[in-house]
Amino acid sequence: MIDFLLLKNLKVERMHLKREYKNVLVIVIAQAIVGAQLPIAVTIMGLAGQNLASNLCWATLPISLMVFGSMTTAPWLGIVMQKFGRRIGFWCGCIGGLIGGCIGYYALYISSFELFLVGAYFTGIYMSTNGFLRFAAADTASPAFRPKAVSYALAGGLFAAIIGPQLVKVTYEVGAQQYMGTYVAVMVVNLLGFIIFTFLDIPKIEKDTQQVVVEKSYFDFLKNPTILVAIICGSVSYALMNLVMTSTPLAVVGTGHSHHSAANIVSAHVLAMFIPSFFTGHLIAKFGAERVVSCGLAILTFSGVVGLMGIDLGHFYLALILLGLGWNFGFIGATNILLTAHKPHERGKVQGLNDFLVFGSVTIASLTSGTLMNCTGGTAQEGWSAVNWAMVPFLLLAAGSLIWLQSHKKKSGVVKST
């Protein structure tokens, strides 16, 4: 009997191990292919908006609408995934991305900035589900493997960083209007997503009928210091990355460099966002998530310093590479802090709240980015400097929140880093 139970437990353990690695592989592939929309959007939306908008101050508004779409759909997508499973939620993202691609294509064809904004909002639904991939990777992972699973999930963006900009290069002149061919590529990417997510094997969380579950409000979760600091650090890391990245194509082209240079710099930046993911999880497991977040904030600071030093291609490349690396450490670290602060049955609500606030801050950052870039001073260089100076107060906020969390833990008797 004992041998039978032992064999049964070993079989279950092996099935669990197979599932956790299989799901991470599926998510990595999804990040690589479906996630290619992110560098595509960042590269072309600001430039297309600049061509379509009557006022240059609104050039980056399409990116802002995309992020706003992500923000407003994150709460209900979290609930959908909790109730119906991750696969259904990710299919919703593919539908949103497909609709956004179709509308964007037609908006370019008729030169309608307003319709282009509508398409950008639907693309935000894809962006929201793409953000949930990092949480999905942790769902079936063991505690020891969880930081690495989250990190590997984001590492798929490395391939997206190559695929996305290359698709822009070969398609942006195809069609009656610039970038129409790129939106056809976006449609194909989302259709492939339906197939990829079919292979995801994440069971739904079943309610424990033997235990009384106390429903918490969103405000109750925000009163948890760990959740609050995780959201602050994740928001600052993502918002500052978006603030600078959104303006980069406009700054590069505006200071006399080519469209191809802008695409290459965005590609280098996105590579820097995701290459570290192959070892960020190991760093978190060894040093703790809070130390990794602190390192990320320091690197973001250096990125701003380099951005203020000049407008040669070398300055743009180095600033954007540092920006990507700082985002990686800050965002993955904050995600792992969040994962330790809620129970399984709370994940849909907490993760939805987190992404609502994170992408809310990113929406504000992208709106601010266009205004700072095009409406501050008289030149592109002055606008670019304003964008980099705007990072300072938010870096101070995130650093202060980490110090406060450590102080709170010491007072509570919790001294081990998350």
The predicted structure's pLDDT at residue 295: 93
The answer as to whether 5 is a domain residue is no
Binned at pLDDT 50, 70 and 90, residue 414 comes out as low
Whether 9 maps to a domain, the answer reads no
**Where residue 233 falls among pLDDT bands split at 50, 70, 90?**
very high
Q: Best-predicted range by mean pLDDT among 77-86, 139-148, 193-202?
A: 193-202
Mean pLDDT for all residues in the chain:
81
pLDDT band at residue 320, thresholds of 50, 70 and 90? very high
* Residue 119 forms part of a structural domain: yes
For residue 275, tell me if it sits in a domain: yes
pLDDT band at 6 (very low <50, low <70, confident <90, very high): very low
Distance (Å, rounded) from C-alpha 202 to C-alpha 139?
7
Residue 57 banded pLDDT, cuts 50, 70, 90: low
* pLDDT of the residue at 351: 78
Range of 110-114, 150-154, 360-364 with top mean pLDDT: 110-114
d(CA 104, CA 171) in angstroms, rounded, equals 14
| Predicted TM-score (pTM) above 0.85 | no
State the virtual CA torsion across 75, 76, 82, 87 in degrees, nearest 10: -110
Q: Is residue 323 part of a domain?
A: yes
Domain count, the chain: 1
Does residue 245 fall inside a structural domain?
A: yes
Output the six-digit token pair for 287: 């040093």
* Residue range 314-342: mean pLDDT, rounded: 88
pLDDT over threshold 70, residue 212 = no
Q: In the predicted model, what is the mean pLDDT of residues 306-325?
A: 90
Residue linked to tokens 């709170």: 408
- The pLDDT value given to residue 70: 83
- 53 pLDDT above the threshold of 80: no
pLDDT over 70 at 1, yes or no: no
- Is the distance from CB of 275 to CB of 156 less than 8 angstroms? no
342 to 95, 111, 331, 345, 382: CA distances (angstroms): 30, 47, 18, 8, 44
| Assigned domain for 4 exists | no
pLDDT value at 322 more than 90: yes
The arithmetic mean of pLDDT across residues 274-296, rounded, is 86
For residues 132-142, average pLDDT: 80
Q: Where residue 265 sits, what CATH number does that domain have?
A: 1.20.1250.20
Residue 6 lies inside a defined structural domain of this protein: no
Question: How many Cα neighbours within 13 Å face the side chain of 62?
Answer: 33
User: Which segment of 2-16, 79-93, 200-214 scores lowest on mean pLDDT?
Assistant: 2-16
Helix (H) and strand (E) counts in the chain? 17, 0
- Amino acid 5: pLDDT: 38
Residues spanned by the domain of 60: 14-202+217-412
Alpha carbon separation from 392 to 26, 363, 388, 396, 398 (Å, rounded): 38, 18, 8, 6, 10
User: Is it the case that residue 163 has pLDDT exceeding 90?
Assistant: no
Question: What's the whole-number mean pLDDT along residues 76-82?
Answer: 82
